[in-house]
Chain A
């Protein structure tokens, strides 16, 4: 794994910053939530205390310790904002609730909804009775059966009055009551102040009735009865004397409440039965910053407080539920987070008991949307997130850049180390990055010291041959000059034989010595060579002609371009290069083989190929053939070979800015030496 990648991974650890930020935001949210709970609870307490001080403004009457029970036909009277039209439909009732079913033992379906304006109590009764049994026109109350709805009202003064609705034809009707006739016979009398509309539908009939509030006390029994059969639903005063109780909202309570609360909060006062007595305020106040909620919501997805564990808000149009309501009605203020109807909506609810005379008679219930908090949290988190992401990105980029820089430097060092010892054995002493003051600089300097030491050693080895040849030359000259002198002394033939032998030995020693020193001499003379422009083609033709004379047994072929090939260099050196290549080729070429010298012009270069038939170059020698004093050839003569020839070839090629390469011929039938020389 590259350093860059490693550091990149290290840099990714800065991602812990946003995570920490999220944790912090979560704690922040919890703290905010707590403080919101406390403040809402305090508000609830304050309102409850204020209301406790004036119970007459909260509770309509002081009775009613008995709980609300639909089974007893109890009715909650919704406050109506406008007077509904008596038409048998309830779509003009501004009420959220649905009619409640009347208790029945016979399966006869009837539902009732009650509402009130300042002056009237309205009833809306639905009865599932598809067969209309009309009221006979000449009614005998004891005998006649017809579809009817009985009402028993407890008057404010405590007396009870019974009425019934029945009709011979749907439409506007009045309630009727049974009175004793003069002849002891019951008869029906219309009560024109209690109006109703009888509407016949496919599923049954509706009765929408209007009763002046002055008729209505705290109880109202409703019973629907089928005209045929025994279908009956509802309660009557005789059977359930404590049933049919009416639960009114308190007039003026809404206005009272609205003075306590501010926008975005809804206050509800409930009585001990959790039925709503008054409601004020609304939840729909838009929290600031709600507009960019969509953009922020994705944060919530993976870091928000888990809201699914919150209870769903249990709230009916007429009553409230939930833990806080229960707790408050038990006399204890309580706050709770609940989920609203829409799953995303979070609501904070708080309830505080309203008590009078040491008795809990109701509660104040406050609701506040959690959106504001979420929005606040989201804004904080968004900023945090953006900042830390920015910081992380910056850290990653900086780390990456730094790593790139480091790895570039190391790469440069590595490349320099790779190429420090060139193919010609020359050592480059300068290392990149050695000026650096850090560990890489130290490393570079260590490399430099190493290379300097290596160079000294190489230099020593390189000059050893020259030095040796120089140092040995004097003693050798002593030997040879002594032999010269000895020969002049007039020797006997047998003595002369030994002298000749000694001279031959000295001669050989001398040629070895001059070969040892030759590399240095060649390098020096090449250095001093002068450059001129000359025609390589002409030089080749003349030289090859000479070689044909020099090596008559070899078959030399020359192929050149048709036009002159001018290069800049030292013609003498090029001839020397040719000498060595041709000598080498002749040495390896079998007597019947051919030596081909071909000159080509390529892009920017002249390429000189010298190829010969003969054995291929062994694989092990590739790349080493052109080294100084390297020679490996199967012995053919007893001349000392010091492998200077191809070394000179390379020196000359390099002097001209070119290269020398040896390879085997594609057909394996010989070797091919390729020299490239740049064009002028």
Chain B
């Protein structure tokens, strides 16, 4: 059964391009130009995944509002922000509103497709029984590669897709230093150095909310980061 993806994007050319690319990957696509039409459609029928731009026509923050409303309709629906905005603040706001990922428009279509696929995989994996084979364990940390879920001391850590991939890349080879480029590649994103830094910071904070003594992600100045057990 085809997955339904909703694209809410006010720029027609982009809308069509994204639509075409994802359609090629076998998804059924519905596109909306603004928050109002999108919301009307969502109230009738929820898609399997929503890709939302932040500024929609005359609403500069329309995407945020839409995300909030959508999250109210469904707690599980995966939401990806895809926006020309690249500021730290926007990314934080978006993720805080419950988006699963925050992508800038620099992302290439193949990368976008990969993300979408990953999110669907995560959802599918959650619905299936546990599959121990895919699980990485590093001390208190366990990463379920299939479900894209992370736990620390048994408690779930809610990471965005990008963050998950970064933790995954670090924890797979503990002690090995991963530089920023490697982390970006692992997460299938193009980010500048500061954004990686703030991602790392945010991840540490999420872990520290569960365990204040957490310091497994170590900065190696001038090189990058590594996972220490």
Shortest CB-to-CB span from B34 to chain A, Å, is: 16
Interface string of B190-229 (1 = CB under 8 A from A): 0011110110010000000000000000011111000000
Q: Is B14 an interface residue (CB 8 A)?
A: yes
Which residues on A sit within 8 Å (CB–CB) of B86? 517, 521
Q: Which of B201, B220, B222 contacts A547 (CB 8 A)?
A: B222
Answer whether A525 and B198 are a contact pair too, CB < 8 Å, given A474-B11, A484-B108: yes
Segment touching B, from A418-426, A475-483, A587-595, A624-632: A475-483
Q: What's the Cα separation between A524 and B195 when bound, in Å?
A: 11
Q: Which of B21, B84, B87, B198 contacts A484 (CB 8 A)?
A: B21
Q: How many B residues are at the interface, by size bracket?
A: 20 to 34
Contact A488 B24 (CB under 8 A): yes
Interface string of B57-92 (1 = CB under 8 A from A): 000000000000000000000000000111111000
Q: Is B125 an interface residue (CB 8 A)?
A: no
In the complex, which residues 536-589 of chain A have their Cβ closer than 8 Å to any Cβ of chain B? Answer: 539, 542-547, 549-550, 571-572, 575-576, 578-579
Contact A478 B17 (CB under 8 A): yes
Majority secondary structure of chain A interface residues (helix, strand, loop or mixed): helix
Q: Is A140 an interface residue (CB 8 A)?
A: no
Q: Is A409 an interface residue (CB 8 A)?
A: no
Closest to A578 in B: B222
Contact B109 A485 (CB under 8 A): yes
Q: What's the Cα separation between A482 and B20 when bound, in Å?
A: 9
Q: Is B18 an interface residue (CB 8 A)?
A: yes
Contact A477 B88 (CB under 8 A): no
Q: Is B106 an interface residue (CB 8 A)?
A: yes
Q: Is A309 an interface residue (CB 8 A)?
A: no
Which residues on B sit within 8 Å (CB–CB) of A545? 222
Answer whether A478 and B11 are a contact pair too, CB < 8 Å, given A485-B17, A521-B87: yes
Contact B220 A546 (CB under 8 A): yes
Q: How many A residues are at the interface, by size bracket?
A: 35 or more
Which residues on B sit within 8 Å (CB–CB) of A572? 197, 219
Number of A-B residue pairs having CB atoms within 8 Å of each other in the complex: 88
In the complex, which residues 6-59 of chain B have their Cβ closer than 8 Å to any Cβ of chain A? Answer: 11, 13-14, 17-18, 20-21, 24
Which residues on A sit within 8 Å (CB–CB) of B109? 481, 484-485, 488
Shortest CB-to-CB span from B196 to chain A, Å, is: 10
Q: Is A332 an interface residue (CB 8 A)?
A: no
In the complex, which residues 161-204 of chain B have their Cβ closer than 8 Å to any Cβ of chain A? Answer: 192-195, 197-198, 201
Contact A474 B85 (CB under 8 A): no
Contact A481 B24 (CB under 8 A): no
Contact A524 B87 (CB under 8 A): yes
Q: Is B138 an interface residue (CB 8 A)?
A: no
Q: Is A470 an interface residue (CB 8 A)?
A: yes
Contact A542 B222 (CB under 8 A): yes
Q: Is A522 an interface residue (CB 8 A)?
A: yes
Closest to A548 in B: B222
Q: Which of A481, A510, A522, A544 contacts B14 (CB 8 A)?
A: A481
Q: Is B122 an interface residue (CB 8 A)?
A: no
Q: What's the Cα separation between A582 and B123 when bound, in Å?
A: 45
Which residues on A sit within 8 Å (CB–CB) of B193? 576
Q: Is B105 an interface residue (CB 8 A)?
A: yes
Contact B14 A484 (CB under 8 A): no
Q: Which of A470, A488, A530, A543 contacts B222 (CB 8 A)?
A: A543
Contact A525 B20 (CB under 8 A): no
Shortest CB-to-CB span from A649 to chain B, Å, is: 14
Contact B219 A571 (CB under 8 A): yes
Closest to A526 in B: B194
11 A-B pairs whose Cβ atoms sit less than 8 Å apart in the complex: A477-B105, A485-B17, A485-B24, A488-B21, A518-B192, A522-B194, A525-B198, A543-B221, A546-B221, A550-B222, A576-B193
In order of increasing CB-CB distance, the 4 nearest A-B pairs are: A543-B222, A546-B222, A484-B109, A481-B17
